[in-house]
């Protein structure tokens, strides 16, 4: 199936997948934070390197899923997939651009995500900025994955 034949994802499915993924990511970040606190002799960690580490782990979480099949567990649950505009599979560079652009989309009260409601192609700001999109995977294809 080529990239043009996929239907772009609705806002409701995107939000559901985001919440699902945030539950998983919270567990990962909790584990990283527990290691950091233990390494800091039980004291709270406030060093900028710690925060950079959390951002890198978050990028690694999303980047790995996006570059290895295009689906986080939340996306897979809701039959969604991240694809490139020209190629279906994302590279790590594509993932980095999408990850960075998603910060721009979410910081102003998730306005960039809500843009899906107004965009003729149902694309969010970070979809447009990164030349990627979130698509609905047809049921017959989702069952084979």
pLDDT in tens, 39-54: 999 999 999 999 999 9
Q: How many domains does the chain have?
A: 1
Is residue 139 very low, low, confident or very high in pLDDT (cuts 50, 70, 90)? confident
Domain that holds residue 51: 6-142
Is 94 among the domain residues? yes
Is 130 among the domain residues? yes
User: 137 near 22, Cβ under 8 Å?
Assistant: no
Q: What is the mean pLDDT of residues 116-127?
A: 95
3-state helix, strand and coil shares in percent for the chain, rounded to the nearest 5: 60, 10, 30
Is 67 among the domain residues? yes
Is 137 among the domain residues? yes
Q: Strand 132-136 vs strand 7-8: parallel, antiparallel, or unpaired? A: antiparallel
Is residue 96 very low, low, confident or very high in pLDDT (cuts 50, 70, 90)? very high
Is 102 among the domain residues? yes
Is 110 among the domain residues? yes
Output 67 or 87, whichever has higher pLDDT.
67
Q: Taking the model in full, what pTM does it have?
A: 0.89
Is 1 among the domain residues? no
């Amino acid at each position: 199936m080529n990239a043009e034949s996929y239907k772009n994802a609705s806002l409701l499915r995107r939000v559901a997948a985001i919440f699902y993924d945030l539950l998983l990511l919270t567990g990962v970040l909790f584990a990283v934070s527990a290691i950091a606190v233990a390494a800091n002799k039980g004291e709270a960690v406030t060093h900028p390197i710690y925060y950079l580490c959390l951002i890198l782990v978050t990028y690694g979480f999303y980047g790995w899923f996006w570059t290895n099949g295009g689906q986080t567990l939340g996306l897979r649950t809701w039959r969604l997939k991240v694809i490139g505009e020209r190629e279906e599979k994302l590279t790590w560079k594509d993932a980095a651009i999408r990850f960075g652009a998603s910060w721009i989309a979410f910081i102003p009260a998730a306005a960039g995500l809500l843009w899906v409601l107004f965009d003729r192609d149902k694309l969010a700001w970070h979809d447009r900025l990164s030349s990627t999109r979130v698509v609905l995977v047809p049921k017959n294809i989702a069952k084979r994955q």
